[in-house]
Structure 1
Amino acid sequence: MFYSAFRAVVLVPLLRWLFRPRVEGLGRVPQHGAAIVAGNHQSFTDQFLMGVVLRRRISFLAKQEYFTGRGLKGRLAAAFFRGLGAIPVDRSGRAAGQAAVDEGVRVLGRGELLGIFPEGTRSHDGRMYKGKVGVAEMAIRSGAPVVPCAMIGTFEAQPAGRRLPRLVPVTVRFGEPLDFSRYAGMADNRHVLRAVTDEIMYAILKLSGQEYVDMYAVDARAQLAAHGSGPALADAAGAAQLAPVPDRTPGDRPAAARHAAPGEGRHAA
C-alpha cells in the first residue's frame, strides 16, 4: 500500500514533471507474471524513471545499509527506498553476490517484476560496460523472460557526482523479451552464464546506441581513480578495449566466457 501511495502521490508526478520521459515499447513488458527488466545504468535516476513509466510494480535489490540508518534521517531513508519497491540485501562478505541472486530468484518466484542493472554500478562516462552474470543466473533459475531496457539521456541529466539533475529530454525504451528457458538446469555453467549475459547486454546496447567497453564498470572507476580522467584513463585501460558487442547467441561461447576473468564466478551479480 505504501508503495502505491508513494508512487501515485509523490514519485510519478514529480519525475514526470521534471523529466517528461518519452516511453517506447511499454507494451513489451509483461503485465502479469515474473519478468526481469534489465537496463543500462547511467544515472542515480535510472531506477526511479523505470519505476515511473511502468504500469505495474517493480522491485529492485538495494544494499541493506539503506534500511538500517539511525534517527529520523535513517527512518526517512528506509521509508523512501521501501516506497520505491527496493528490497534490502546483505552485500557484506564473499557471499554477497549469491545473496543478491537468491533474493532476486525469490522475487521472481512470487511472480513479480524485478529491475536490475547488470553493469553493477553507474557508468562514469556514458558508455556501456560489461555486464555481471547474476542477471543470467536469475533468468535461468527462475525461467523468467528478460526485457532489455535502454535509459537514454539520463547520463546527461544526472551523471555520477552531480547532485541535482539537469532538465534534459529522457527516453525509456523497452525491447522484445528474451527467453532463456532452453537453458534450464544450466545455471552452474559459467560459459552459459557469460554468454547469456552478453546476449542481454547486446540487446540493451542495440536499444541505447551507446559505445561498449569490454571491461567492468567498477574496474574502469578504479583506473579512473588511479590515473585520472581523459586520455590518461584510456591509456591506462588499454584504450578500454572499446568495441561493439558482436551479434551472437549463447551457443557461440564468446571468448569472454571461455576465459573468465580472475575472481569472476557464477555468483557475480
Structure 2
Amino acid sequence: MAEIVYPPVVLAAKTMFRVLDNRLRVTGTEHVPRSGGAVIACNHVSYLDFIFCGLGAQPAKRLVRFMAKKEIFDNRIAGPLMRGMHHISVDRAAGKASYDEAVDRLRSGEVVGVFPEATISRSFTVKPIKSGAVRMAADAGVPVVPMALWGTQRLWTKGRPRTLTKRHVPIHIHAGEPFRPTPDDDPDLLTGQLRTRMQEILDELQAGYPDRPADEDDRWWLPAHLGGTAPTPEEAAELDARGRARD
C-alpha cells in the first residue's frame, strides 16, 4: 500500500522531539523483526503513546499499524491521518471485524500495535490486559514483542493538563524479547506472562529513568510504589469504574 502520510508524520514527530530536546532513548530494537508480521504489545500511560511506540519500531524500519477506537477515526482532524497511516479502526460494537482485519494484516507481513490494557493506566503500572494480542498472534502465526515506555505521561495523560511543549523530558522505550504463541497454547496463561514481562520492562525503565520530581507537587507522575502520588492500582481501578458509570 502507498505510504504517503506515514513518513511525513514520523519526520514531523522526530523534528518536534529534537526541538523540545525530549531525550528520546530507544533500546531493544533488535527484538523487532525486520520483516514479516508481528504484534507489538505496549503499556499505556499517555495519549501520545502510539507515537512513541511507533518510534520504537523505527530502527527496524517498520511502520506500525495501531488498533485504535473508532471515535478517533471519526474525528475530523485525526481521522484522515489515522486512515492515511492505515491504522485499524476498532468498533466495540463490531469487534470481530477489527480483529479479523488485524489478523489479515499480520498474515500479510505487517506489524500491528496494540495497547492490551485498553485504556490509559492512571497508576502508571501495567493494568490487567486483554488476550487479543496473544490470540491474534497465534491465529496469524507471528511473534508478540512486549514493549514498555516511560516519560510520556509527563506530556499528556488522563486527568492532567497537556504540556506538549514541555522541554527536556526524557522518554524511554524498550522492546523486549519476542515470543511466538500457537493455537495450542492457553491464551490466558500467555496473556498473564505477557503482562508480567511488560511490567518487568516498565520496572527497568522506571529504575533507570534519569529525572526525579522537582518538588512535592511534581510527584504526580511517579507510581505510588515509587513514592509518587499517582493512584494505587486499586484506586485507579475505582476511578475507571466511576468513569464508565458516568459514560
TM-score, scaled relative to structure 2: 0.75
Relative to structure 1, the CA distance from residue 2 to residue 207 in structure 2 (aligned partners, 3 Å threshold; closer, same or farther) is same
2:187 is the alignment partner of 1:193: yes
What is the identity, as a one-letter code, of the residue corresponding to 1:184?
P
Q: Give deviations 1:19-47, integer Å, cap 9, x for gaps.
A: 23101111110010000111110001111
Shift of 1:159: 2.1
Query: For 1:42-80, what per-residue CA distance to the aligned partner results, in whole angstroms no more than 9, with x for missing partners?
Result: 0011110121242211100122333334xxxx1x32222
Which residue in 2 is equivalent to 1:30?
A: 33
For 1:217-232, list aligned pairs within 5 A: 221-223=240-242
Deviation digits for residues 164-213 of structure 1 (CA, Å, limit 9, x no counterpart): 33442110011111122xx3256xxxxx2211111111111111117798
Q: Is the Cα contact below 8 Å between 1:34 and 1:109 reproduced in 2? A: yes
Distance across 2 between alignment mates of 1:68 and 1:147:
29
Q: Residue type matched to 2:121 in 1? A: S
State the match for 2:179 in structure 1.
Answer: 178
**Aligned match of 1:78:** 79
Q: 1:214 to 1:200 in 2, by over 3 A?
A: farther
1:106 maps to what in 2? 104
2:51 to 48, 53, 60: 48
Cα distance in 2, alignment partners of residues 223 and 77 from structure 1: 27
Identity %: 32
Label 1:145 to 1:130 Cα distance change in 2 as closer, same or farther (>3 A): same
Cα RMSD for the two superposed structures: 2.6
d(CA) in 1 for partners of 2:14 and 2:150?
Answer: 18
Please state whether the residue corresponding to 1:148 is helix, strand or coil: strand
One-letter amino acid of the structure 2 residue matched with residue 79 of structure 1: P
Aligned partner of residue 114 in structure 1, secondary structure: strand
- Give the Cα–Cα distance (whole angstroms) in 1 for the partners of residues 34 and 190 of structure 2: 24
Alpha-carbon offset, residue 121 of structure 1 = 0.5
- 1:147 and 1:157, CA in 2 relative to 1: closer, same or farther beyond 3 A? same
- When the two structures are superposed, what TM-score results if normalisation uses the length of structure 1? 0.69
Q: Which residue number corresponds to residue 15 of structure 1?
A: 17
Cα distance in 2 for residues equivalent to 1:225 and 1:63: 16
> Match for 1:123 among 121, 137, 140?
121
| Contact in 2 for aligned 1:48/1:84 (Cα 8 Å) | no
Q: What count of residue pairs does the alignment treat as equivalent?
A: 210
Tell me the amino acid that sits aligned with residue 68 of structure 2: A
The residue aligned with 2:72 is 66
**Cα distance between partner residues in 1 of 2:72 and 2:192:** 30
Cα distance in 2 for residues equivalent to 1:149 and 1:56:
15
CA contact (8 A) 1:7 1:52 kept: no
> Which residue identity does 1:28 align to in structure 2?
H
Distance (Å, rounded) in 2 between the aligned partners of 1:85 and 1:45:
18
Matched, 1:204 2:198: yes
User: Is there any run of 5+ residues in structure 2 with no aligned partner, and where?
Assistant: 207-222, 226-231
